[in-house]
Amino acid sequence: MFTLTHLTTPPPESLKSQVLQMVVDYFSDISPAPLTPSNPLYQLYQYVIGFEVHLYLQAMGSDAGSARLILALDDEDPSQVLGFSLYLPSPDDPEACTLVYLAVQASHRRRGIARTMLQRMILLHPHAALACVASQVPVFEAMGFAVLGARGPQVLMNTRNRASDGGVAVQDLAPIFQSKEVRQIHAYLLKQHGNKAMSDAERKRDRLLDQLARQAAALAEERCSSERLH
């Protein structure tokens, strides 16, 4: 079994490190650009998402719009993180929030952990939004979310039939991609794989994102058309 804890300030280092490890381990499940390990850019995008979550956790408690964290801890050993839900409340709309990332340890899936974490988030902020790839839509539909539309490679979902007018403080990824660390990782990958392999990796990434965008648009159109008919 598990116990939920809801944090509004940065988690202790031992819990934070487990969350960040899950972000890296389950990168392909939670990233909006879900590259596979066979793509040479995989390590670079892993670093970026890990650093993005690190910044969210570091800024917790700094203002009304900073990230909140729901952790599922092992009942038998509360030092062990079984799952996490990272979300952003809207400072303009107390009922609204946006799920940023959610993950559950592979060994503890299908035990209601994700559903319970989302229920806790929705209890606090009933007007909840999220974005996910098309293949994950049925999972979130089963948890009470409905499709509103598509944006790029992701489907936009909400607990209500419209998006909130309130904004959320989403992390700007541009400075991370432009950081010295990311440039160093890119240079290392270039040296390791060569120019041609890296160019191929970028083309594969772009093809994947195009494919996901087509799937997201088609699914959103199908769901929204069905809704209009009813």
Domain ranges of the chain: 2-229
- Return the amino acid letter for 136: Q
- pLDDT beyond 70 at 227: no
CA–CA separation, 55 vs 64, rounded Å?
A: 16
Q: What percent of the chain has pLDDT over 70?
A: 98
So what's the pLDDT on residue 85?
98
CB 194, CB 167: distance < 8 Å:
no
pLDDT digits (tens, 9 = 90+) for 78-107: 999 999 999 999 999 999 999 999 999 999
Homologous superfamily (CATH) of 2-229 is Gcn5-related N-acetyltransferase (GNAT) (3.40.630.30)
pLDDT band for position 74 (cuts 50, 70, 90): very high
Average pLDDT over residues 163-179: 91
pLDDT digits (tens, 9 = 90+) for 18-54: 999 999 999 999 999 999 999 999 999 999 999 999 9
Residues 28, 29, 33, 34, CA torsion sign = positive
CA–CA separation, 41 vs 190, rounded Å?
A: 10
CB 182, CB 43: distance < 8 Å:
no
CA–CA separation, 50 vs 24, rounded Å?
A: 6
Whole-model pTM? 0.93
